[in-house]
Amino acid sequence: MKFNFFLDRSPPLIGVDITSASVKMVELVEGSKSAYRLENYSISPIAKDAVVDGNISNLEQVAEAIGRAWKLLGTREKRLALALPAAAVISKKVIMQAGLREEDMEFQVESEANQYIPFPLDEVNIDFQVLGPNPASSTEVEVLIAASRKEKIEDRVAAAEGAGLKVIIMDIETYATEAAHSLVVKQLPNNGTGQTVMIVDIGSSTMHINVLHDNQSVYIREQAFGGAQLTQEIQRRFGLSIEEAEIAKRKGGLPESYEAEVLQPFIQSLALEVSRALQFFTSATQYNQVDHIVLAGGCASINGIANIVQERTQVNTIIANPFSQMELNPRIRQQQIFADAPALTIACGLALRRFDK
């Protein structure tokens, strides 16, 4: 029944983010001058439609992409931390009596899960973690329960095993983003304390919004918008294959008209989507403003995007770089990691799991 969403002690491992466009890997080790050192990272493109809406639809192609990313990483470490999309996980915070034994807590978790999981319990993996004392009562604790269909987990595990690797941890993308955010907040005044920060992770097909107040998540939402729209427009406008369009988007070499006719309209659409997300948040919650917007995901490395989002929203906007205060392996080029960092946010958050207390 259980799966390690919340493993207590982690061995050395690699953080792996599987998206509809690529497999991203990050390996962190202890630093000598700072807490962490980025040992290496890799990004390997994935075949079109091998992953759709966060679900693996072609196991073989995903396994191949994982294998390629691992070879590019140049490591001997074969243990991985992966994550499920938030939409594939049901999570709920419940209150329990403090001081319960592990088996009593497990029994109570099953009883609670029965009430809110719309599937038979033998079809799901469940895990739980005690978050801490209940602020309203000293004799109770807050417990986070997470549950997912077994098939969602098994597909990811099978893809990793197909590449000869082993999954140690299955996390949730939202929590991985929050873990990486603990490094990104160093780019903000007072490390984000007492402030409301909107993390906008722009994936290939979905924009993931996670708002933190005082570094605690208070709001999560997804919007259908992503970098695939830019790839498709490049493909249509310049008569390229989807693979050629993806490479041209990353590495350049497109005609002069690209900037004005394709890229700028896309950036304006992206800024409008962020502005909409902001309006949804302030109208749906008790918070009437956001102090900072943090852009993550592949699209966040588009030149000048932070300025345009800031102009549109009138909110201070920065680009996520969880590696900004880390030591870097001398093999890693500073300029390249600066460009790739926003896309590695989830993989970095997963790589941090090796340092769990």
Tens-digit pLDDT profile for residues 293-335: 999 998 998 999 999 999 999 999 999 999 999 999 999 998 8
**What confidence category does residue 1 fall into, taking pLDDT thresholds of 50, 70 and 90?**
very low
Q: With pLDDT > 90 as the criterion, what percentage of the chain qualifies?
A: 63
pLDDT greater at residue 216 or residue 258: 258
Contact 187, 318 (CB under 8 A): yes
Contact 65, 44 (CB under 8 A): yes
* Mean pLDDT value of segment 110-119: 84
Q: What is the pLDDT of residue 135?
A: 86
Q: What is the pLDDT of residue 357?
A: 67
Q: What is the pLDDT of residue 350?
A: 97
Q: What is the pLDDT of residue 13?
A: 94
Q: What is the pLDDT of residue 9?
A: 56
Residue 194: count of CB within 10 angstroms of its CB: 11
- Report the range out of 64-68, 139-143, 221-225 with the highest average pLDDT: 64-68
Computed over every residue of the chain, the mean pLDDT equals 91
Range 112-138 burial, b when 16+ CB lie within 10 A, else e: bbeeebeeeeeebbbbbeeeeebeeee
Q: Is 321 strand, coil or helix?
A: coil
User: Is the pLDDT confidence value at 167 over 60?
Assistant: yes
What number does CATH give the domain 88-149? 3.30.1490.300
pTM of the model: 0.89
Separation of alpha carbons 162 and 73, rounded Å: 17
* Mean pLDDT value of segment 45-74: 93
Tokens coding 206: 């979905």
Extents of the domains making up the chain: 14-87+151-229+259-355, 88-149
Taking Cα atoms as reference points, which of 202, 165, 3 lies closest to residue 83?
A: 3
Separation of alpha carbons 13 and 11, rounded Å: 6
* Mean pLDDT value of segment 130-147: 89
Give 14-87+151-229+259-355's CATH code, choosing from 3.10.450.50, 3.40.50.2300, 3.30.420.40, 3.30.56.10.
3.30.420.40
* Mean pLDDT value of segment 43-55: 89
Same fold across 14-87+151-229+259-355 and 88-149: no
Separation of alpha carbons 183 and 348, rounded Å: 10
